Structure 1
């Protein structure tokens, strides 16, 4: 499995996405959940720290083929919990969190895991399908609709986004809500997992929602076209297409979204690619 990656920062202060690769074949892409500045945080480390600590452990643990990926995620969360300082109040809602998408190559199969709304696109030759956990879209619908109303960047819109995040925090990692990688190891039990026989997978894309929006929000490409773009021009070209579409809707009114320009990360995996890629 050959993997090429690209990531660009959105409108925030720093890139809260992360992409991690370990040989001989394990890749993880994480999208840190942004915390509005006016909401409290119970952890002094912040979201980028969580993404780095969790991502490195995911690919290290994932290289052990005897561990199912759900177990990999559970153990990684437990290990990162042990790194928090005594001042971090992990039982509270206001703790860093991230989405996770993973792909692992074993001699006879490829394993995958998807937690929350990052996207895994799989091409088996006979079909192309996209996997994402969209449960976050099914909670706090009233607050979500309000947060997406009107042009982006206004004080009113910013306040409504904070109200949405506050509501979502109370629904994270509990029955009837939605699940993300944070401080609750049991979130791993709610991830989408599966395996594909080794000879059946041709290529795959692991995308944060800032990159997947070209297909699932803007509808400027099909999933197969996204894979073709990644194959022919590389992940940076996909992210450039995303930025071009965002510039065409600079107020976020044609395609309502929380961030006009979100952090965007893409990892593209090709199985038995033959000649080395120049991407």
Structure 2
């Protein structure tokens, strides 16, 4: 398994995405932004949370005997222990993150997806499979439609986004709502998991929603074209092209969105094969 990766900060004070890779696994997290005008029960913040959670995950999935759901459950519990004495973990206003991860285990590829990160798998003759969880888009419809009204970057737009996040927090990690990694280990039970024979997988991409925009928001390419771009030009090229499109519509008039530009992170994975050698000069980490 060969992995190349890139991450770029969007509008905000810090990149709340993170990506970690080991010889047999990849973990990509997208921290949920907390508007500055809303309360936060954790003194550490979202960037700290995603760093801690990802570190536990990449370590835990290194043990092939540990199921991915169990790894996520244990990682959430471990991070809770790091700050339960200093932070109000029972409140809704705690850091949270989406999760997508894969693991090579013998002759299979295990995967886990929690919330709206994307796992894109090229399965050869079987086509391309996209795995994600869009339940967050099925709640707070009225507030979501309002938050998508531009122009982005204005106080009025920011207020509508804050109103959306306030409602979403009440629905987070509850039946009938949507699920993310936060302080409830039971969220791991809501993750989508599976295993695929490794020989079926030609290439894969793990993306935060800021890196999937060209396909699922802007509709300027399809998943096959996205994988081709990653294979031929690398992950940084995908993020550069995303920023170009975002800058062409800074107010969100053509493509309504919550942020002018979002943190964007992608890991591109290929299974060693003569048909999928790295482009000349490209470094694979």
Task: Verify: 1:213 aligned to 2:213, yes or no.
Answer: yes
- The equivalent of 2:30 in structure 1 is 31
Gaps of 5+ in 1: none
Give CA-to-partner distance per residue, 1:203-230, whole Å, 9 cap, x none: 1000000000110000111101100000
- The equivalent of 1:43 in structure 2 is 42
Give CA-to-partner distance per residue, 1:167-186, whole Å, 9 cap, x none: 00010001010000010000
> Match of 1:244, SS?
helix
* Displaced runs of 4 or more, over 2 A: 273-277
Gaps of 5+ in 2: none
Q: Tell me if the contact between 2:4 and 2:234 (Cα under 8 Å) persists in the aligned partners.
A: yes
Q: Matches of 1:198 and 1:237 in 2, distance apart?
A: 27
- The equivalent of 2:72 in structure 1 is 73
> Match of 2:213, SS?
helix
- The equivalent of 2:191 in structure 1 is 191
Give CA-to-partner distance per residue, 1:183-209, whole Å, 9 cap, x none: 000000000110101211111000000
> Match of 1:196, SS?
strand
Displacement of 1:85 after TM fit? 4.7
Q: Report which stretch shifted further, 268-277 or 66-75.
A: 268-277
Q: Matches of 2:45 and 2:154 in 1, distance apart?
A: 25
Displacement of 1:57 after TM fit? 0.8
- The equivalent of 2:233 in structure 1 is 233
Q: Tell me if the contact between 2:231 and 2:278 (Cα under 8 Å) persists in the aligned partners.
A: no
Aligned residues: 278
Structure 1 residues 276 and 242: CA distance shift in structure 2, 3 A: closer
Q: Tell me if the contact between 2:118 and 2:208 (Cα under 8 Å) persists in the aligned partners.
A: yes
Q: Tell me if the contact between 1:123 and 1:204 (Cα under 8 Å) persists in the aligned partners.
A: yes
Displacement of 1:150 after TM fit? 2.4
Q: Tell me if the contact between 1:152 and 1:252 (Cα under 8 Å) persists in the aligned partners.
A: yes
Q: Matches of 1:87 and 1:49 in 2, distance apart?
A: 14
Q: Matches of 1:9 and 1:213 in 2, distance apart?
A: 14
* TM-score, structure 1 as length reference: 0.98
Q: What's the Cα RMSD here? A: 1.0
Displacement of 1:276 after TM fit? 5.2
Give CA-to-partner distance per residue, 1:35-54, whole Å, 9 cap, x none: 00000000001000010000
Q: Tell me if the contact between 1:5 and 1:267 (Cα under 8 Å) persists in the aligned partners.
A: yes
Displacement of 1:87 after TM fit? 2.6
> Match of 1:158, SS?
helix
Q: Matches of 1:57 and 1:253 in 2, distance apart?
A: 40
Q: Tell me if the contact between 1:129 and 1:223 (Cα under 8 Å) persists in the aligned partners.
A: no
